[in-house]
Amino acid sequence: MKKLLCLLLGLTLMIMAAGCKKKSTDPETIYYYASVQIKGVGNTFKTTSTFSKLCLMTGVCNTFYTDPTVQDKNYLMIGFPTSVKAGVTYTSDSSHTQILYVDNAGRRYFSTWGDSLNITVTKWEGHGGTGTGTFSGKLRYEIVPPNPADSIYIKNGTFSAKIWFVTGN
Give the up-direction half-sphere exposure of residue 66: CA atoms within 13 A in the CB hemisphere: 12
| Alpha-carbon torsion (115, 111, 117, 93), positive or negative | negative
Residue 7 has pLDDT above 50, yes or no: no
Distance from C-alpha of 84 to C-alpha of 19, rounded to nearest angstrom: 48
Q: Which range among 13-27, 59-73, 116-130, 137-151 has the greatest average pLDDT? A: 116-130
Residues contacting 135, CB < 8 A, separation 6+: 36, 78, 99, 117, 118, 119, 120, 154, 157, 158, 159
Domain definitions of the chain by residue range:
29-162
The contacts of residue 48 (CB under 8 Å, 6+ apart) are 29, 30, 31, 32, 68
Task: Give the pTM.
Answer: 0.77
118 pLDDT higher than 70: yes
Task: Give residue 25's pLDDT.
Answer: 64
Neighbour tally for 147: CB within 10 Å: 10
pLDDT tens per residue across span 61-96: 999 999 888 888 999 999 988 889 999 999 988 888
pLDDT over 70 at 31, yes or no: yes
pLDDT of 156 reads 97
In whole angstroms, give the CA distance from residue 122 to residue 85. Answer: 8
Q: Is 17 helix (H, G, I), strand (E, B) or coil?
A: helix
